[in-house]
Structures are given as structure tokens and as C-alpha cells.
A and B are shown apart, each in its own frame.
Chain A
Amino acid sequence: MQFEVLATCHTTKARVSRMTLAHGVTALPTFMPVATQAAIKGLTPQQVESLGITLILNNTYHLNLRPGTKILKEAGGAHKFQGWNHNLLTDSGGFQLVSLSKFTKITEEGALFSSPFTGEPTMLTPEESMSIQHAIGADIMMQLDDVVPSLTTGPRVAEAMARSVRWLDRCIEFHEKSGRKDVQNLFAIVQGGLDPELRDQCLDEMTKRKDGVAGYAIGGLSGGEAKDTFWRIVKQCADKLPADRPRYCMGVGFAEDLLVCAALGVDMADCVFPTRTARFGVALTFRGAMNLKLSKYATDLTPIDQNCPCPTCKGGTTRAMLHHIVTLETVAAHAVTMHNLTFQAQVMGGARDAIMQGTFPAYLHKFFDNYFGDVGYPEWCVNALRSVGVDLLEGKENAKVIPGDGGNWDYSNPKKQ
């Protein structure tokens, strides 16, 4: 991997960088759409490519089950298997193992689970995770980490953090010997729950191993913790991670979260949210979410967003048309998915340009004013951005501020229209 920081924001911790991997260049900060089972829901790889997306995520747990590493090897890797010629990142498989398997027991050796095929006890070790990700051939691989739910407290969090460091060592060692270091890159995952002390210890240990890792992820978040805690941990990690390595915040996809993370110095993020919410008929716009199922859109003959360059909006597909087919025809899901992925890319592309031009604080103001001006600014966003020198409420005496986790709305029941 080549990683080059092109510009940093004069006020916030945001930066623009260029990450060159075996399958091309990706400009950061960026959002990575999730192609869980080797397909972005409903789209062809060419459609995804045409949206200007250069980095997607596959889930190791799912690909290991189906099609399995044997078929992936026969195909010549996951890129060839799914016809995707650009960059690809895989997770370690550990997170899904813990959340989807009925029985999982973590030992020092690895994660013990019952095979979904035979029910037999099966072990996912750090080495096995690396081996599967080598078969997949992802440009970026994640270490196997010891995942505990975000809200866990007590000694288990410390144990998981320490074990994640030990497992990182095993991943590094396995990857070093694999002969694939020139084409695949290993990322470490910072753990430590919501405890700043543990996070610090983990950061210290993992930054010591910098020579063995190409980048760092911030794990263990986006699991229902308070947003005010979330951003403080992200900030703590981003501040301490080495500047010459990309930083990836896992499981983040709301536009406001993405921009806050970017301002705190995060370079990459992923989430199923924009594609999943599209299937329920929710389109993302710079003025908030739009639930196309609502009857008020039945006769609305304007595109989702007049200024959006996606094939759906540019092709003149109207809200009324989408309302007519939403959740009834797969075409509606495809059309809204393309729009939502373009929206995410536009939010991040706009951030890159603004950082390059030295106007990122103004970009943040404009985005948050459009997005939350009517409904109120989430307090946590205000606090997080104040911590990096941007005051969203500056000059707005009567601005409404929403305490708590404002903005973190449920995709099936959006508050904003």
C-alpha cells in the first residue's frame, strides 16, 4: 500500500489522502458500501463502478460459508468471482461469528463456534481468518479481534482488548509468512470498549506494531453506545494513531457521523445503512431522509434531488414514480440504492474538496445547516465539532439543539422528512 496525505484541514483534524492498493487508487476520506455476499444489493459491479466507487467491503464470514474458499480459489479470488476490478476490503469474520452464531466461545486459541453446516464445533483462529482472507484476496484485510458488545463493562473488556493485541501478533506473523504482503494489507483493530484507559493501552500496544500493519481500524463502537461516548472514543483513537496510516471507523454510515468522524481525523468508514434503508424506500438527501413510501410523494413529480448526479436523479426518475414501485418492484430498490450510494460519495467527495481548498469548516456548517437546520442540531455533533474548533451554533442565537443521540434515527421510521 502507498499512503500519501495530500492536505490537512487548518482547523479540524480532517485530512485528504491517496491510498494506492493493488486494484487502484482510492481517495480518502471515503465511505465504503457493503457487498456482504459479493454483491451490492441488486446492482451489478459495473453499476457500482459507474457511481465512482472504488472501494467496497465483503464479509468474510458470509463468503467463507458461501461460496467458500475452495470456489473462491478456483475463481482466482473474490475480485474475479464477483467481477469487481477495484479495491476490496474484508472484515475478519469475527464480528458476524459472534452476532450470527448460536454458540460461540472465545478461547485463547480462537473463536469456537458450531458449524452452521454440521453443528460440529469449529475454531476460527487468527491464522484461519488470515488464511480465508488470503483466499478472498482482499486488498485490505482485518485482523481477527476479540469482539465484545459495545455496552459490555467489567473485566471482559480488558481481557478482549489484551487478547486482540495478542491475536494481532499472530495475524502479523501469519501474514508475514504468507508471501502476500505485496498485494494484501493487514489492518489492526483498536479495542478497549468505552473505557478510555483501556483504549489508551490498546493504542500504545498497537502503534508499537506499526511496522506490521498498513492501517488501523477503530472497533467496538456503533453498538448502541451513547453518541457522546462514541465521538470521544473516536477522537481519542484518531488523535493517537500514527498520521502515516489510514484510520478506519467501523460500522459508521449516517452522513452526520461520517462528517464528524472525518473532522476527528478518520479516513474510512463502512455501513449497510445506505443500501439497507434504500430497500425500505428511504432516500438520503442533503435535507435529510425521504421516505418514498409516504403518500405525500405519490404525486411529487420531481427527482429525489435535482442536483444529484446519480443515474436515478439524472435520468429524471421522479419521487412519484419511485412511490409507485417502492417495495413492490426490485427496480425501486436498485434506483434508490444507486442514489443513496451516490449521496454518500457526494458527502465525502465534497469533504475532500473542501479540505483540499481549506474550506472544510464552512462545508461542515453548510451541511449541518441544511441537514438539521429545521429539526435541530444534535448536541453530540455540536460538542464533537467544537472539540476540533468548529462551532456549528456560531452566530445562530435561536438554533435548536437536540440532546442525546439526536440524528441516530431508525431507518424504518425516519423522524425527518
Chain B
Amino acid sequence: MSTISFQLSATSPGPRIGTLRLTRPDGTVLSLKTPGIVTATSRGVVPHLSPDLCAQTKAVRWVHVAFESFLDHDPPVPTLLTGQNRALARFLGHPHSAILSLSLRDPGDIRTMPPNGDAHVSANCIRGVRKVTPENWRSYGQSCDPDIIFALTDTPFTPPPYSQKRLTKSVERSLAWVADILRSDSPARNVFVQMAGGTEPAARAAFSEGLGARLYDKEAEAVKPLKTLDEGVAGYSIDLGPLRTTLGDRLLHHSKLAAVLVPDTIETADLTQSTEALIKLVGASLQSLPQSRPRLVNSCTGPHEILKIVKDVGADLFDAAWAQRAADIGIAMEFHFPVPDHHRDGADKLAIGYNLYDHVYAHDFRSLCETDSATVLSTPLQHSSVDSPPTMIPASPFTRAYLHHLLHTHEMSSHALLTAHNLSVLAAFFAGIQGIVSSDSERVLFAKEVEVFCDVYDVSSVLFDEALKAWAGVELARGKGRLGREKVVGAE
């Protein structure tokens, strides 16, 4: 039932590159190289990128949508398109050329939630909590026709810690829900499975073993001809968000935070403070599973953590939520892998981006980034026969001074430009990883380059902390009236 083929460069643990090909029922084949990006969405759309801009942003090759925001309407509106190919993607206006994956819950949402039940997951929408049963989920999936669907999973979002019993139940329910979506009477296409088991390595291993275990009797009958659940699975995903919460790692810039909740002082943290622990947990999940399926990791903190996971675990896809969130708070990403020669011997650590709220950028007319691909020139509309012949004038890249101005004047265009920029920087970063891994038969070079990267680029949260404070400052001052803010910020 999987229409995904995944060709890997290596089948041993460690860094790997691959080509993922997804074939749609209409015969369209989408192909992408890994490691690569999954673009995060909010209410189904890539924040700040209108469909036309989204289609022009080459880095957007795969969008992940959480279904839960549609539960505010009954029946959920996208299900009204039942019977159409790519119904949800069409509804949302996502480009034909991008893979669309669908899960019930937003992998980046780590808010406390009411408990799940044996036959439902508690999901969140603007009108409150909604219970979604496996049967609901199958039917939503069939209506929406995503390229990839995530099986329901029982991740507890009640406050940690979680008892042994709770984790056992989580593993059992999650396995049952994988079996449900693979039922042979209404099989879903391209099922991804979130690795359950929480922060307990044994529980994670038990979930994976359950996936690979031979099925008998009724269980086998329900999913025939599959001999194991894993046979029907197209890929694995690991959500680091809830694991990080359980480990007590509360980095502020991860999720959307109301401006009033941003503290005046934020203690600088190490963005990789939990990475080693997380890698062990990911390893526990993947140990007994075949190497050959794509592995998606959600909610990394930044490039350092991504590189370490690529190096030690061999993950293939990473969500871009952290870089997209950075665009919300005025950060333009700028980091390269491998580290360019001229940055290798610097005495000071480099930041992985810059906070464009900072007044040092007021007079900085360097472009946002030299690597930004030129925007696609479309033909402008013509509104009358006397209009000049439509031609687009190629644009010069946007300067940091302009972005600085837009951020301080609370102009939304800044976030659109930064989102496109940050996704492009991230795509170039992954292309760099692919290049090193492909040329590295010994696996030594990659490890060395990761070390260089971690030496050169600052791994502290200070960039995010400063930007978050500056963003909150401008947001809050808006309520006080423009002139009041001028006095406060008017140091320029």
C-alpha cells in the first residue's frame, strides 16, 4: 500500500543520503533527496506564505498539515471535498509539486491536553478539545487524500512524569491504531508511524518490536496480506517535542508564545542540552526496525541538533518549524554546511543567524543573503488595453535595513520574506549535508565537518532569546500607541 520508494546510500547506522520517490494514483512521481526539509503549517497553511509565494519558494517540497484545526466545524470542511484527488491539498492551495502529509495533531504543539482514551485521541481546535476515534481518522484520511497519513498515536499530553503503566498503555493503543489504519477493508496509502514509548527506552523498543512482530488470527486477518504491521508502514517519525517536555527541557522559542508571556530576562541555554538523551531514545526506537524506511524527526532546535542526529542516527527528514518560528521573531538564518573556509579559523563563535530587530541593521544595506534565489518572474496582470505591456522588472534582493524597518514598523511583509529566506537557507544546508555524505565513503569526513560546524557556530540560545524579547517589545508597544513606542525604541 506504500507508493513510496526510498533508495538509500548506506544501510548501516550513521549518516545516510537517499532519494525518496512518491507515486500518486494519477501517475505523478515526486522525487526528493534526503536529508531534507518538511515545511510546517498552521491551520493548514505555511505561515506568512500566501499560496503564490509558497509555490515560488523552491525549498517547500513537502508540507505537513495537522488536521485538528478543522475540527472546529462538524463535519470538518475538507471532508466536504470527498472524492477529489488531493482534496486537502487543493483546498489549502498547496503546490502540486509538494508532498502533503497529514497527522491529526500538530507535532509542534506540546500544550497540556486532556488524556486520550482507549478509542480516542484528544485533539485541539479553536473551539476546544475534540475526541477523534480511529474510525473518524480513517474516514477523514480517505476524504482528504493526503500523500502520506500518520497513524493515530497515544502520546500523553497530561503533565509528566508518566508511569510505567501509562507508557505500556500508550504502546498498546498506538499499535492498535497503526493496525486500524492498515485494515485491509479500507487501507490507507503511505502510512507513517510515530514512534511511541515516551522517554523510556524499553517502552520505545517494545513499540518497535510490536510493529515488527508476526501477527496471528484475528489481528492477521484484519490486515491481510500483511504479516507484520511494519510491512504496511511507509515511514517512521519521531516527535522530539513531547520527549523534550518530559526531559524538562523548556526552550522558549520552540512554540508560539504570546508576547505578554515572554519574560524580561531569559536564561541562555544550550540548544543541544537534550540532544544526547534524545539520540538514545531515537536509537531505542529504530534499533529493531529495518533501515530502509524514511525517518522523519520533528521539533529539532537547530542545525547543531540536526547534524548530530544525522551523524548518530541517520535520520532523513526534519521539520523546519524552528526556522519558520525564527522568521516570526525577526531572525534571518545564516549558516552553512560544510563551514566555508573563510569562517573556519575565526576566533569568535559565529551566530547561526541574525536578529534583524537589532539596531545595528538599520543602516546595513547588504542583501538578506547572497544565496537567495531570484524570485520567479510571472507576467503581471493587465487591466485594460491601454496598460503598458506587462513585464516584471527583476528585483534586487532585500536589504537587512529594509527588513529591520519592516520589523520595527510591524509590517507583515517582513515575516513572509524571512520565512522564504530561512527555508532556503535550510534547504541549502541539507544540500551541503548531502554533498559531504555522498563524497564520504569512510564516514570520517562527515563527523569531522560536524565537529567544525559545532566549533564555529554558537550553540547557545542567545540569538533566539534576544530576538524573542525584541519581538515581544514591538508587539506589546503596539497596544500603547505608535508615538509611545517611538520614545522607547527611538535610539536610532
Contacts and interface: CB of A to CB of B under 8 A. Distances in A.
Interface stretch (A123-131, A158-166, A324-332): A324-332
Contacts of A74: 363, 365, 401
A74 B402 CA distance: 12
B333 interface: no
A109 B402 CA distance: 34
Given A74-B365, A81-B402, A329-B43, A102 B483 contact: yes
Contacts of A311: 50-52
A83 B395 contact: yes
Contacts of B306: none
Contacts of B490: 116-117
Interface hub of B48, B392, B412 (most chain A Cβ within 10 A): B412
A317 B416 contact: no
A333 to B, nearest CB: 7
A71 B401 contact: yes
Contacts of A348: 383-384
Given A324-B44, A329-B42, A338 B383 contact: no
B80 interface: yes
Contacts of B347: none
Interface string A84-99: 0110000000000000
Interface stretch (A60-68, A175-183, A376-384): A60-68
A48 B53 CA distance: 12
B91 interface: yes
A247 to B, nearest CB: 18
Interface string B468-492: 0000000000000011001100101
A44 B362 contact: no
Interface residues of B, number: 64
B381 A309 contact: yes
Interface string A72-87: 0011000011110110
Contacts of B492: 66, 68
Interface string B68-103: 011001000100110000000011110000000000
Contact of B401 (A50, A75, A312): A75
Contact of B386 (A24, A81, A325, A356): A356
Nearest to B408: A66
Contacts of B44: 324-325
Contacts of A42: 411-413, 416
B411 A37 contact: yes
B288 interface: no
Q: Tell me the dominant secondary structure on chain B's binding face.
A: loop
A352 interface: yes
Contacts of B385: 352-353, 356
A75 B281 CA distance: 51
A41 B411 contact: yes
Contact of A349 (B80, B363, B383): B383
A119 B484 CA distance: 11
Q: Interface centre among B49, B408, B490, by most A CB within 10 Å?
A: B490
A53 to B, nearest CB: 8
A6 B386 contact: yes
Contacts of B43: 324-325, 328-329
A47 interface: yes
Interface in A49-64: 49-52, 54, 62
A412 to B, nearest CB: 19
A27 B392 contact: no
A85 B395 CA distance: 8
A38 B411 CA distance: 9
B405 A37 contact: yes
B201 interface: no
Given A298-B77, A334-B412, A352 B383 contact: yes
B44 to A, nearest CB: 7
Contacts of B396: 80, 83
A18 interface: yes
B93 A16 contact: no
B7 interface: no
Contacts of B258: none
A132 to B, nearest CB: 16
A67, A75, A81 pick with most chain B CB within 10 angstroms: A67
A271 interface: no
B308 interface: no
A102 B365 CA distance: 34
A116 B492 CA distance: 13
B386 A27 contact: yes
B386 A331 contact: no
A402 B42 CA distance: 43
B417 A44 contact: yes
Interface in B408-427: 408-409, 411-413, 415-417
A32 B395 CA distance: 21
Contact of A299 (B45, B77, B381): B77
B363 A71 contact: yes
B409 A47 contact: no
Contacts of B381: 50-52, 309-310, 342, 345
A309 to B, nearest CB: 5
A299 B385 CA distance: 37
B387 interface: yes
Nearest to A348: B383
A352 B386 contact: yes
A119 B378 CA distance: 47
Interface string B369-392: 000000101111111111110101
Contacts of B487: 116-117, 119
B100 to A, nearest CB: 14
B383 A52 contact: yes
Given A67-B401, A311-B51, A333-B412, 4 more contacts: A46-B377, A46-B392, A311-B50, A331-B48
27 contacts: A18-B386, A27-B388, A37-B406, A37-B409, A38-B411, A39-B406, A40-B413, A42-B412, A42-B416, A44-B416, A49-B380, A52-B382, A62-B409, A65-B486, A75-B399, A80-B396, A83-B402, A299-B80, A315-B52, A317-B93, A320-B77, A320-B80, A330-B415, A331-B45, A333-B412, A349-B383, A353-B386
Top 9 nearest A-B pairs (CB, nearest first) are A349-B383, A52-B381, A352-B384, A349-B384, A42-B412, A311-B52, A334-B50, A37-B409, A85-B393
